[in-house]
Amino acid sequence: MQAIRNELARILQVDESDIDAIRVMKSGMTNQSFLANYGENQYIVRIPGKGTEQLINRGQEATVYRVIEPLCLSEEVIWMDAESGLKISKFLQGAHVCNAYDETEVRKCIRQLKKFHTANLKVEHTFDLFEQILFYEAQRGDMPSAYSDYQETKQQILSLKEYVTRHAGEMCLTHIDAVPDNFLILEDGSVRMIDWEYAGMQDPHVDLAMFCIYAMYNRQQVDHLIDVYFDGECEREVRVKIYCYIAIGGLLWSNWCEYKHSLGICFGDYAKRQYQYAKEYYRIFLEENNVSD
């Protein structure tokens, strides 16, 4: 805690004795966050988690925050180190994360997500889903997958590339980690999006898939979320494409979890469910296209 106090005092250019009540705010899947008080203000200090330096380009993340700043979409970032990933932002008093099973909250968040997408922001880097699957896989080295049919599943998921490429819309800055926990609903009812570490150029409909698989939605809930985003007018090919993104995202985050597991960090049921999404929604893709496995 003393190291955090020292660093915060240095960045804010205040006396470290004036910073108090530092406590763990949350230990997330990627980072640890601490809440610190200085005068009437509260700050969140984000410390990147173990192994994060292998997975995230902090320079790209810093660029994303600069690009989105004029839209007031995110938390107010006070300072960020583009090398270490240490980030300090103002604490949004009274905010809470989106309840993925509250219709009103979900609609608010999806409206904000669509507003972000329609801004059509651009950056120089992309988030290639298929490259990242192979990248995360490579991070565990010689350690085999926990799933005996992994190689078969991987080939099935990679085969979806042709379909999603053919039906992808115009690429824009996409959050990639647009999960319910990364939407904050403020006391006045407005919505902010946080944790832009993975953001890059991509088909924005990827964000819908990521929301669904983190919320562990069933197919009926997936279809409802798609209908909310598209106001009930989603073309069949686009819906099937989002099913593909669910399958692809499932294997992506399954590999991410397997890498984290190699570091001694286990995500239990979440990790298993991601792998199940890969298999389940690949089968759904086949059914929707009348293809036998």
Domain membership of residue 44 (yes or no) is yes
Of 74, 90, 106, at which residue does a domain stop? 90
> pLDDT at position 23, please?
77
Domain membership of residue 293 (yes or no) is no
**Same structural domain, 198 and 218:** yes
What is the distance of C-alpha 264 from the center of its chain? 21
CA atoms of 237 and 275, how far apart (whole Å): 24
**Same structural domain, 22 and 113:** no
**Same structural domain, 45 and 145:** no
- Give me the sheet containing 183-185, strands edge to edge: 96-97, 183-185, 191-193
Of 31, 65, 90, at which residue does a domain stop? 90
> pLDDT at position 189, please?
94
**Same structural domain, 71 and 44:** yes
SS3 37: strand
Give the tens place of pLDDT for each residue, 151-206. 999 999 999 999 999 999 899 999 999 999 999 999 999 999 999 999 999 999 99
**Same structural domain, 221 and 100:** yes
CA distances from 30 to 33, 205, 238, 250 (A): 10, 23, 30, 17
Domain span at residue 105?
A: 96-288
Q: What is the DSSP letter of 126?
A: B
**Same structural domain, 78 and 134:** no
CA atoms of 100 and 214, how far apart (whole Å): 9
Residue 282 CB coordination number (10 Å) = 23
> pLDDT at position 255, please?
95
Domain membership of residue 229 (yes or no) is yes
**Same structural domain, 155 and 211:** yes
* CATH number of the domain encompassing residue 111: 3.90.1200.10
> For the chain, how many structural domains are there in total?
2
* CATH number of the domain encompassing residue 56: 3.30.200.20
**Same structural domain, 8 and 138:** no
CA atoms of 71 and 51, how far apart (whole Å): 31
SS3 79: strand
**Same structural domain, 71 and 112:** no
> pLDDT at position 52, please?
67
Residues of the chain with pLDDT under 50: none
